[in-house]
Amino acid sequence: MKKCNAVFEGGGVRGIGHVGAVCRMEQGGWQFADLAGSSAGAIVAALLAAGYTGNELKKELETIDYMRFKGMDLPDHLGLIGKSISLLFSLGIYNTDYLESWLNGLLSRKGIHSFSDVERLGRKLNITASDLTEKRLLIFPEDLEVFTDEPKEFPISLAVRMSVSIPVFFEPVRLKDKYGRKHLIVDGGLLSNYPLWLFDGSRNTCPTFGFQFTDGDGPCHCPICKARPNLVDYLKAIISTSLDAIDRHSLSAEDYERTICIPAVAGTEENRRKISAVDFGIGREDSQALFRNGWDAADRFLRDRIFGKYPF
């Protein structure tokens, strides 16, 4: 077995693409050491750190109903007016109660609750979030010191909940620091959706590989490309674009050489569309397409290295 660190970009419902790539890497003889991720990438990183294999994650995500991640309070059942009320009073349309509970259940199966539990397995886990109150990027567990005297005992499921809280779509997590001040914490992708640099100069000598989504090539027939997109498509495009654009301008040629680029597209050439981070209505066919995209991207990455394009 060859060991590597892994950093997973945020991608919302596209996380199954990461799992496809993970399965191919594991088949190729790679074992994950330290792990990190933002948003949906934090979910994949946390579960791998807990001891799940790629195939186990595939089985879990194949059966998940992503619409359940859109936790609805009473006003949300009242259409656009109700959602506006939620946004006004809760600063987000949906809650992430179910997501936190679902993730906590999966971690518990492996006997994992906190960051210290992961460290006992000989791994390090980093999760990013964005602190709107302090206007800064948070790297968990280190930056939890301001909130608790025992940052490594902090629940991983709550840390991930903060990391996946896409602004507008999800309510921010309100967290009090040790001085009683409330912080609004949202999606880590707002400030760093692809923190590939996290393990540079780390304690181990493993190479660090990144897993990132791309738009793919060819024409796109996604809703925002219509002549007259509706308001929902417009809001989805704003959020997806802001999350996808973060970090890309700062990546070097060396960074791209250690990045597995996963196309976030599905469909035939005549019906090709980009799957956005907030396409919660994603169907089984699109989910399977993303898994294949991840598998194929990792396969190309490994073949390029085997034939000497990039050194290990």
pLDDT tens digits for range 10-49: 988 899 999 999 999 999 999 999 999 999 999 999 999 9
Band of residue 219 on the pLDDT scale cut at 50, 70, 90: very low
Band of residue 120 on the pLDDT scale cut at 50, 70, 90: very high
Band of residue 177 on the pLDDT scale cut at 50, 70, 90: very high
Report the mean per-residue pLDDT for the chain. 85
3-state secondary structure of 168: strand
Tens digit of pLDDT for each residue in 68-112? 766 655 555 556 666 666 667 678 888 899 999 999 999 999 999
- Residue 220: per-residue pLDDT: 41
Band of residue 190 on the pLDDT scale cut at 50, 70, 90: confident
Decide: 162 and 139 in contact? Cβ < 8 Å: no
CA 139 to chain centre: 14
pTM: 0.86
For residues 288 and 233, the model is more confident at 288
Phi/psi of residue 81, nearest 5 degrees:
-65, -45
**Token pair of 118, please?**
């992961």
Cα dihedral 80, 81, 86, 89 in deg (nearest 10): 150
For residues 267 and 275, the model is more confident at 275
Q: Is the pLDDT of residue 246 over 50?
A: yes
Q: Is the pLDDT of residue 289 over 70?
A: yes
| Interatomic CA distance for residues 263 and 279, integer angstroms | 15
Beta strands 125-131; 2-8: pairing state: unpaired
Collect all residues with Cβ–Cβ distance below 8 Å to 80 and sequence separation of at least 6.
none
- Residue 232: per-residue pLDDT: 58
Decide: 304 and 310 in contact? Cβ < 8 Å: yes
In the DSSP assignment, the letter for residue 93 is E
User: 21-25, 128-132, 215-219, 220-224: which has the minimum mean pLDDT?
Assistant: 220-224
